Structure 1
Amino acid sequence: MSTPHEHPANTSDDLAARLREQGLRLTPQRQLILRAIEELRHATPDEVLAHVRGQVSSVNASTVYRTLEVLEELGLVRHTHLSDRAPTYHSTMEHEHVHAVCRTCQAVRSYDPAVVQPVVDALAADGFVVDVGHLAIFGTCADCSAAAAVPPAT
């Protein structure tokens, strides 16, 4: 089932330490963008931009894109492709998870990697190492399946 979202108390401290290791500064924009990823859980750069602009209107798209690249290089966020649109980012502070995406309503649910362990094991037996955190499975969620099964009212 879904994994709970946990917010570590020291996310800003972790960000500051990792930035210092790379000779980079902790800026308010970097903090806002990381916080937006954590709050939104799964977000495209445009969704992050809209969220951040709700707090600071002067942040621009290039700042968001550059910051997401830096945060990914630091290992604080990851991206995956949950649609044919822009990559979707999520915090690495969450437990590793598999993404299940509904093609009808675009809802994203997170599942423990154990649900795909037989597939991971089968591929590993052939020498292939799966990046589970980048895995997205597409289908139809229970709500959309149930709605499609209900005959229209006459």
Structure 2
Amino acid sequence: MYATPLCRTAAYSGCEATCSSATALEGLAWDGAQDVVPSEYEDEVVQLLEHCPEAVGLARQTARVALRSWQMSAATTDMSLLVVSELVTNAVEHAKPPLAMHVGHQREPEQLWVGVTDGGPARQPGEWTSSCSRDEHGRGLHIVGSVSDAHGVTFHEVGITRWARLAAR
């Protein structure tokens, strides 16, 4: 179904834990969201992320390495990294842990699938959203929709995956 993944990493450095333990984060993320990328995508990268603002930068780094290995153009890389940033930020600000980023690559026709799985809606918005006025936030999913060929939401037993599909250009 999938080629050997480029990497399957768990990242817990860079910010304070918001989960009771890394083991709980791994268990929940893998049990409910390990087969998230559609089966037509031959290559896949999955990264567990800590529920904190620094997760956005780590997700972008991991996605950039994968996109480079798949020889994506600069334009496709830029759009994909924008989607990664918006989806991870959305999860950090509006969802419960755990977080997992998924990037899939299909060779024919060449396209990418980017998704972020989280633990479902948080009871309260994140610190950044709570600290700013309404006109300073709320455009992330609109941005994802404008740069992707398709986007949507998939519900799982343990959470939600917000995803986008982008043609390689």
TM-score by length of 2: 0.29
Q: Which has the higher strand share?
A: 2
| Greater Rg over alpha carbons, structure | 1
Q: Which has the higher helix share?
A: 1
Q: Higher relative contact order at CA 8 Å, sep ≥6: structure 1 or structure 2? A: 2
